[in-house]
Chain A
């Protein structure tokens, strides 16, 4: 008790240095905790890129490949799923809903996704958040398009603007579906997922714009079908790229997955997005570990700063130590005093760092959600966080042992009359 109060008074006496040291530790702790929180948010956000979807079904390829093109709009499908097969699965009694996905076209570098209205009703991200409209409404007409937030922002589109879809995926495509222009009817709110970078149209629209195309080429002028004539045709697609499935009961997911994977008529693959996302995160998640290591080194630098501050104070405090000895303090009291000082600085720094980190998180939360679609839930300190913070204080105590040991040695050598 007396050591604690002495250490506190001693630190208060050197308050400028002590405060600066404390600030250095606080900033480094805030950084470490911030990285830890962001990393959790990023991982959760990633794992929640799509949620509420029990299975994703596509042509047989790799698990990651299917995930990449169906959810992240990266890469291409090797083959399609036939409409009949899709209908067979969709009509099963254990299936609650399906979202068809038809990919292959683009608009100025952004992928165009053909789907149906179930997409807006059932798609979930970030732990069950629904898609919401920042402006407009879902597509109703054949030539209506709904834009993801980033598409609208980057290209400066607003509701009512006309857009032309390009054939294929190139950023600059020479084959345009300019004969069948679309109209923007809705713009989605930012989600922080690939939805933001997607142009949504109806499945029928995808069929309509390709109705007079064959083998990747538009038909010769004689065989062309204009936009209005296409409306009268049967626009049910022959095939789709993939589809998402929501089960009546999650327990049945495995049953359907096996059934799809063993389907004889067509080589199909069904994946559980959560499992595949975790696999993918393990591939891309190395960066956040690197960030964590950097943050840990910043904390180490903060603690080394503290060590320097205490060590440099030792010489000018030899007199103080000698006085303490003359009134009966033992060398171990001197040792304890300095370790306590290190502990107090670190504990104060950690506390201030936590406060700083939470302050910043609450301040930055709206911005992160709006600009980066990163849904940061500050929450409480997890067991892991507490362990992390405790180990910082423990490291400080351990480091404090160095000046403490030197003071101990000084004290023994100086006795009551320091030679300074």
Chain B
């Protein structure tokens, strides 16, 4: 089954258990936020050491 195609066997109104959407923007956001946190920790450490 290819990602994103509806499950023909799912009953109407029920959640498709194989619903598989692209989450690329989420992944990028997560990694970007981590980079910001690491940068902030570096600045914070330099300020108070």
A binds B: no
**Chain A positions near chain B (C-beta within 8 angstroms):** none
**Chain B positions near chain A (C-beta within 8 angstroms):** none
